[in-house]
A and B are shown apart, each in its own frame.
Chain A
Amino acid sequence: MNLKTMNKTTRSNMITYLMVIVAFVIVQVMMAGGNISSSLKGQLVPICAYIVMAISLNLTVGVLGELSLGHAGFMSAGAFSGVVAAQCFSQNINNPVLVLILAMIVGGIVAAIVGVLVGVPVLRLSGDYLAIVTLAFGEIIKGIVNNLFVGLDSNGLHFCMIKNTLEMDTDGKLLINGPMGLLGIPRIATFTMGFVLIMVCLIVIFNLVNSKSGRAIMALRDNKIAAQSVGINVTNYKLMAFVISAAMAGMAGVLFATNFSTVVASKFDINTSILVLVFVVLGGLGNMRGSIIAATVLTVLPEMLREFSEYRMLVYAIVLIVMMLATNNPTLKNALGSFGAKVTGIFKKKPAKGDNANG
């Protein structure tokens, strides 16, 4: 492959793939050499999950152009269904990688179904109303999962709501215990699987964006009425982007949940949705590479700020505000831009003879 002959988009996509692969290899080498702190090691899988969440939300917010405040709801739906599936599969299948892959598929499908259920009514709305309804759906999913009890015994799965009235055999095992969340999750998530999931999602998103459907979706974002007038089916394409985004969030949920032994439903609340939205906006709308970098940096940042201990979340908030001001305020942006130009100018300038005469 020749980087110079490729068109700009393909080159940019290749750079993103390469960046992820290089980062993966570097971390693997560092892990083999034991150069990685244990706190960072524990963060690797969550970072992967957050990266997948960020790029999938970027598909909704950046490419489709609709603000969603309930992305964690899909993560929750995926995580809970995926882990229940993993528990069922692991009775018959011994290979943890295979179990995780199957669980991710189940989680992805369930999240996609929820995505259709949410998307069909929600996508009729637009702007802030759509945002508030996605927020509401996220809270509803949290409320339902918070009151769900699921058990597994030799007769199969048992479900009930609100109160634990499961009638299981003596060999029964409680999988979801209402507000206590998922119990005894098989910890099968690995950093390598996280890396594979990121790559798969990136391939899907890049190919979608560069396809006919992707262009239709972006046309809807840029001008809905113009797109409609050339015969683009608004609901279909909106739903398509929304459901793919939901399915990826579901898979990220499975990855996230199987990294811990217990997970509660309230983990996937509005704060998580907003956290992911922050990754997307800071990384740049529609820019997948930006989302990946932002998700990584902002997940590691609070850990790095640990020496400030109690001040770290305060510093995080200030960093967030300052970053938004610096990138969006015209005055500040120009000031930074001219400063940057000066800095690069110093390195680029080759002082010619006679130039010194002026001082």
Chain B
Amino acid sequence: MEFLFNLISGISLGSIYAIIALGYTMVYGIAKMLNFAHGDVIMVGAYICFFATARYGLNPLLGVLLSMVVCTVLGIVIERLAYKPLRQAPALAVLITAIGMSYFLQNAAQLLWTSSPKVFPSVVKGSVKLFDGALSVSFVTIVTILVCVIIMVALVLFVNKTRIGKSMRAVSEDKGAAQLMGINVNSTISLTFAIGSALAAIAGVLLCSAYPTLVPTTGAMPGIKAFTAAVFGGIGSIPGALIGGILLGIIEIFAKAYISTQLSDAIVFAVLIVVLLVKPTGLLGKKVSEKV
């Protein structure tokens, strides 16, 4: 029973990582950049939802929608202001700008909302008892897993079946050629940031519903772990983000439960290293052969 409980909480935590990892992996696939500020967009999303529901008494669903809208706008603004001018710049310059953006968001949040921790009210309350009460699973856990599955299916359909999805795939394949085919590369990249940031808002709300302390640095560590998950599954691949995220979540919870709480992060990263050594492009990553 304990095993099953751990497995379910692992999948639930992994689902959150997977949703965040999607933002990393889509942006990486299209703009070829590591968006370090993504973790902090999660935090902004959680704060918006917190104030909407706990302070102004909005319906939780409306709160989530509001925070999605705010994060979408934020994602587009960040992309336009900080990343778009650097389209041609070396990758490291973009990385440092993203880090600067991350510092900016964290410190702006600290000024606006102070660093004192906020207790996040759970969006979904209650729990369900299974096996004659031997196993108690909270609704948040179930909702998290469901939301993750829905998002995943929707995204895969969107990217593979729609016209916009096709243009996204084209841009990620070859920017120049896509432009020649009449695809608006800039708006496609903006759209990717918008989708990634909206997902970040959902992830933020789910994360804080499961772990209810909210501070300006809330997004930093889950952001790094989700990024690890994206690499784990093969960065640039949407199903890879799902598999990477869920595996990472399960490994983390199991390491905490059966090995050592303090060493759980070290174990997660050790597994990542082993996987990358065996499969250097991640679980589902494409192998790119070098041209001479």
Chain A neighbourhood of B280, CB < 8 A: 124-125, 129
Stretch at the interface among A89-97, A140-148, A186-194: A140-148
Interface size on B, residues (CB 8 A): 43
The answer to whether residues A121 and B273 also contact, given A162-B263, A225-B290 and a CB cut-off of 8 A, is yes
Report A's interface with B, CB cutoff 8 A.
61, 67, 121, 124-125, 128-129, 131-133, 135-137, 139-140, 142-144, 146-147, 162, 179, 225, 270, 274, 277-278, 281-282, 285, 310-311, 313-314, 316-318, 320-321, 324-325, 327-332
Q: Are A317 and B104 in contact (CB under 8 A)?
A: yes
CB-based A-B contact count at 8 angstroms: 124
B85 touching A136, Cβ below 8 Å: no
Contact, CB under 8 Å: B227 / A331: no
Residues of B within 8 A of A61 (CB): 92
The B interface, classified by DSSP as helix, strand, loop or mixed, is: helix
Within 8 A of A (CB), among B253-292: 260, 262-263, 265-266, 269-270, 272-273, 276-277, 280-282, 290, 292
Is B292 within 8 A of A225, CB to CB?
Answer: yes
**B262 touches which one: A128, A147, A225, A311 (CB < 8 A)?**
A147
B104 touches A129 (CB 8 A): no
Residues of A within 8 A of B90 (CB): 328
CA distance A131 to B281 in the complex (A): 13
Which residues of chain A come closer than 8 Å to B157, judged between CB atoms?
Answer: none
A318 to B272, CA, bound (A): 34
| B266-A143 in contact (CB<8A) | yes
Q: Is B117 interfacial (CB 8 A cutoff)?
A: no
**Distance of A332 Cα from B96 Cα, bound (Å):** 18
Interface presence of B103 (CB below 8 A): yes
Question: What residues of A have a CB within 8 angstroms of the CB of B290 in the complex?
Answer: 225
CA distance A67 to B96 in the complex (A): 12
In the complex formed, the residue of A with least CB distance to B231 is: A132
Q: Which residues does chain A contribute within 8 Å of B227, judged by CB atoms?
A: 132
Give chain B residues whose Cβ lies under 8 Å from the Cβ of A330: 88
Tell me whether A129 and B89 are in contact (CB under 8 A).
no
CB of B178 closer than 8 Å to a CB of A: no
B96 and A320 contacting across the interface, CB-CB below 8 Å: yes
When C-beta atoms are compared, the residue in chain B nearest to A324 turns out to be B97
Give the complex CA separation of A236 and B95 in angstroms. Answer: 28
Residue of A nearest to B104 (CB): A317
Say whether A285 contacts B92, CB under 8 Å: yes
Cα of A152 to Cα of B93 in the assembled complex, Å = 46
